[in-house]
Structure 1
Amino acid sequence: MTLTETLTATHPFTDLTRLEQIGDGTYAASVDPIWTIGPKVHGGCMMALCAAAARRALRAEADLQPIAVSANYLHAPEPGDVTLSATVRKRGRQVSVVDVELSQGDMVAVSSAVTLGHLDVAEPRHQEPLPLSDMAVEPSADAVHVTPAHPMGQVVHVAQGCDLRIDPSAALFLAGQQGEPINRMWLRPFAHDEADPDTALLFAVMAGDISAPVTMNRGMFGWTPTVALTTYLRRRPAPGWMRVMASATVIGETLFEEDHLILDAAGQVIVQSRQLAMIPKGL
C-alpha cells in the first residue's frame, strides 16, 4: 500500500492491525509509512500490533482483551513488512498472558508481554480528581490541527491516519516558548476505524504513546528513543473524541519518564501508560 492510497483510505488503522497467520502463533503485518515518527515506526503502533497478535493467539477466549501491554524496544524498524510471534504463557478464565515479539527481517524490534483480561464496564469504585476532567470534550476553536502541511505533521506522520488536535495552551513549544513538561490534545480515529469495536480498542492502546515528547516544552528537541513502555487499557472507548494528557515528573540527565492519561468522550479513564525514554543526544 502506498502513502497516497493510505491517505485516501477510510480505515487506515484497520489496515495496520490486520494480521495474516503464516504459522502456529506467527503472523505477518504491513506497516504503512504514515505510521511513523520521522523515518521510524511509531512505538504505540507496535504496541497495538503486539496486542492484536496476543488476542489472535487466544482467539478461543474472545472476551479477554489486552488490559496491559509491557514492551522493551530493542530496534527501531522501518515501515514495511513485520512478523509477530506469539507464545501463550498462561491461559486463565480471568487473566491470560502472551509473550509477543515483533521482528523485521532477522532483528527483533519489540519484545512484549501482553496481559489479557476483562475490561471494566461499571462506574469506578473510587477515582481521584482528574486534571483532564476540566478539558473540553471536543477540540477548542484554537486547537492546532496536525495536518501533513503543518510542521509537526511533517514529523508526526501518525497524524495522517487519525484526527489529532493539539491544545496550544499546553504545547508552548509550538509558539517557540518553554513551559512545564505537559502536553494536551484531542484524538479520534477515522469513522470507519472507530465503528469497529476491536479496531477502536487497539487504537486506544496505540494512543498511549501518541504525544510528542514533553521534553520539547523544555527546549529539548530531537529523537527521544523509547527504552520501555507499559500501557494499561481500562475499558472500551466510547465513540467520540479522546482527551489526552502527557506529562513528566522527572527529567534526568539521560532519561525521563512520560505518562499518558486518556479519557473517552464519556469522561471515563480508558488508557494509562508510562514510558521510559532517553534525552535527545547532544543535550
Structure 2
Amino acid sequence: MADIDAVAAELYGLRPEEFTAARDAHAAAARKAGRRAEAKDIAALHKPTLAVWAANRLARADADKAGRLLELGEGLREAHRTLSGEELRKLSHQQHVVIAAMAGEARRLAGEAGLDLSAVVQREVEQILRSVLADPEAAGAWVRGVLAKAPPPAVGFADVAPEPGATPRPPMAEAEREREPGPERERESEPKREPKPKPKRERESKPKADAREAERTRRRAELAEEVLARAETERAQARTGLEALDEEIGLLEARLERAREERERLAAAAEAADRRHREAVREAKAARAAARKAGDR
C-alpha cells in the first residue's frame, strides 16, 4: 500500500495531460515485476479533471492553509451539533470568503503551471472545496493532494445530528439581555409559590412539545443558514465571473489593438506595393512602346 500511496502522490502532482501515460507506465512496471494486485490498483486510479487537479495543487502548495480550511469545517460541524446559530452565521460567512480566496489562488497556481482556469472551472474548484468540508474521506485525500475526483455537491452538514438535548443558542445580544437585572428578573428572584401538581398527561406531554419545538427551531435555523450559504455562494460566483469577464475583455481589447496595428502596417505595405505596381506598369508600357518603335525602324 505504501508503494500505491507513493505512486498516487506522484501521479496527482502531474498536469492532467501527463497523468494517463505516467499511470500506465507505473502499472506496466508493476506487472512486469509480478506485482499484479498493485498494477491493478494503479491502473484503476482516475485521471483528475482540471478542477480537481487545481484543488490538489492548492493543497500541495500550502498545507497549513489547507489544514486551516478543514479546521473551519470542523467548527461548522460543531456549530451544527450544538445548534449555535450565531456561530453558524459567522463561520458560514468566513467559509465563503476563504473558499473564494482559495479558488482565486488555485487559478493563479494553475497559471504558473501553464494552465488557464476559466471562470467555470474556478467555480468547480469552489464547489470541490465546499464538498470537502462535508466529506471527511474526501478531505483526507484532498489535504494530501491526491483527490481523484470531485466529491458529490454538498450543502451544509446534513449528516451531522444535534447533540442529545441541544437547543438553539440565543444570539449573544439576547443572552446578555437575559443576564441583565430588570423588573422581570427581580420578580423571578422573589420566592415563588409551589405550583399545583399538573395532571400526569400534561407533565409527560411538555417534554415532547419542547422537543418538537426545538426540532422545528433547529430546522428553521438550518434552512436559514442554507439559504444564506446559497446567496453568498451565488454572490461570490457572480463576482468571480465578472472578474473573469473583465480580464477576458482586457485580453480581447489588447488583441484588438494589436490587430489594428497589424492592419495599419499591412495597409501601408499594400499601398507601397500598389505604388510599385503602378510604376512597373508604366515602365512596362514604356518598354513595349520603345520596343515597337525600334522594330519599326
Alignment TM-score > 0.5, same fold: no
TM-score scaled by structure 2?
0.24
Normalized per residue, the structure richer in helix is: 2
Higher strand share goes to which structure? 1
